[in-house]
Amino acid sequence: MKKTLLSIVLFSIASIGFSTTVTVTNSGFEFNPSAITINLGDDVLFNIASIHDVVEVSLATYNVNGSSPLPGGFSLPLGGGTVPANLLTAGIHYYVCGQHASSGMKGTITVKNSTGIAEDPLKDGFSVFPNPSDGNFQLKINNQQPAKKYDLGIYDAIGNKVYAKSNIQQQFATSVELSDLPKGTYVVRLYDGRESYYRKIVVK
């Protein structure tokens, strides 16, 4: 039953946006659509003509139709390709066609921190932070039952358990180290012996 429930949760994440790919094309010297909004964990595919590339830039560069790359930002060669989710952190990403930025060929990607799993830490007193992170997380339980203990499991996209810890007590922050795992999105499951609680976390 527990395995079935976890499989349902993982499937739901996949359906709602866990591995969604949003496609951007071009119409002449314009990206189409030029402004998109995605969920944290989504990829963006640029299916564009071979005379265009994609370069992430700062807002200042974007505003003046420049093409200087943003340090650490994403870039794609002529013909495009996929920008993976680990390069699309929450917030607004500005990009241009490096070949035609001066003509105003540019666009934006707005990334929302929306997961498809309840993220209200007040509902079950369970929070994970910072999220996304480099793989070093803190888990905090703030419920009203000080004697209660929990089992923690963290799972990858196909349901393999990649981390486990038992007898976690509330009111104490627990360190979770995932920096050795591949970048991507994982599901945190906290089990109190009767109920399970879930969060989605991103290692970037």
| DSSP 8-state class, residue 159 | S
CATH of domain 12-112: 2.60.40.420
Q: Is there a common fold for 12-112 and 117-203?
A: yes
pLDDT in tens, 124-141: 567 788 888 888 888 887
At 56-107, the pLDDT tens digits run 999 999 999 999 999 989 999 999 999 988 788 778 899 999 999 999 999 9
SS3 content of the chain, % helix, strand, coil (to 5): 15, 45, 40
> Environment class of residue 16 by beta-carbon count within 10 Å: exposed (0-12), middle (13-18) or buried (19+)?
middle
Domain boundaries, the chain: 12-112, 117-203
Q: Does the structure show a pLDDT above 60 at 6? A: no
Among 57, 47, 35, smallest CA distance to 80 is for 47
CATH code reported for the domain at 117-203: 2.60.40.3080
In this prediction, residue 4 carries a pLDDT of 47
Q: What is the pLDDT of residue 11?
A: 43
Amino acid identity for residue 186 in this structure:
Y
Its pTM stands at 0.52
Tokens of 101: 């930025």
Per the CB < 8 A criterion, the answer to whether 16 and 165 are in contact is no
